[in-house]
Amino acid sequence: MTAQAGSASSPSGIASAADRSAARGALRRQMRQVRAGLTLQDQQHAAQSFARQALRSRLLKCGLKVAAYVPVRNEADLAPLIARALKLRCRVYLPRIVNLRAGRMEFLRFEGLRHLRRNALGLLEPVSSAPRIAPRELDRVFVPLAAFDAMGNRLGTGGGFYDRRFAFLASRRQWRKPRLIGVAYEMQRVPSVPKEPWDIVMDAVMTERRLYRRQGITDNVVNDPPVTPL
């Protein structure tokens, strides 16, 4: 990678909601600037690494119901991962915004690039006639993010779509489905993400270099043996 953001950080002990909101906004802008410095080669290399890691760690297995996304603004690219999932006969779903003002989205079946359309924001999403799936029926959800920390806290893009859609996971103490896997570049890791009460914590975060598990989060570098499945 040509860009580095290892020193990126967010304030700790933030007292007010206004301060947290300002800190989160500043961190989002910083990470967007950092991602903008990535070369096309950087992005393509990372995309292949995401696919390899998903297979090695068994985040992808035959027949799973998997949610992914189409990247925007230099987000981590999942195209090779989606291709591998389809070869494993996984059913792949993509998000579709159904109410922008309310921050609501649903997941529809990915049936090929020719069945994607741009929405009002210019984002590619499945056509409305594609089969839907309830979030509780998904096995894995690969989630885009702006920044993350070692506790699995995720800073999203600000719309709150994923936090609302998977809020039901916060009440579960043992069994959790789906598993939420953040996807990011290593340089998007920061010491601490300014957290809001409604933020949904990731079960793991996958970067181009390693997989971070929750409860630690345990590092497993790419060259290590496969990690314990979720």
pLDDT of 181-207, one tens digit each?
Answer: 999 999 999 999 988 888 899 999 999
DSSP reduced 3-state for 61: coil
71 falls within a domain = yes
226 falls within a domain = no
9 falls within a domain = no
State how far the Cα of 67 lies from the Cα of 191, in Å rounded to an integer: 28
DSSP reduced 3-state for 200: coil
pLDDT classification of 175: cutoffs 50, 70, 90: low
Domain tally for the chain?
1
109 falls within a domain = yes
173 falls within a domain = yes
Amino acid at 88: L
181 falls within a domain = yes
State how far the Cα of 110 lies from the Cα of 93, in Å rounded to an integer: 5
State how far the Cα of 137 lies from the Cα of 35, in Å rounded to an integer: 32
What six digits make up the tokens of 81? Answer: 């991962």
121 falls within a domain = yes
Backbone angles phi and psi of 34, in degrees to 5:
-65, -45
Range of the domain at 41: 17-221
Q: Tell me the whole-structure pTM to 2 decimals.
A: 0.84
Cis amide linkage into residue 178, ω under 30° from 0? yes
pLDDT classification of 41: cutoffs 50, 70, 90: very high
162 falls within a domain = yes
CATH of the domain at 56: 3.40.50.10420
Helix (H) or strand (E) holding 29: helix 17-36
| Residue whose entry in the numeric block shows the structure tokens 């959800």 | 141
State how far the Cα of 16 lies from the Cα of 180, in Å rounded to an integer: 28
pLDDT at 9 over 60: no
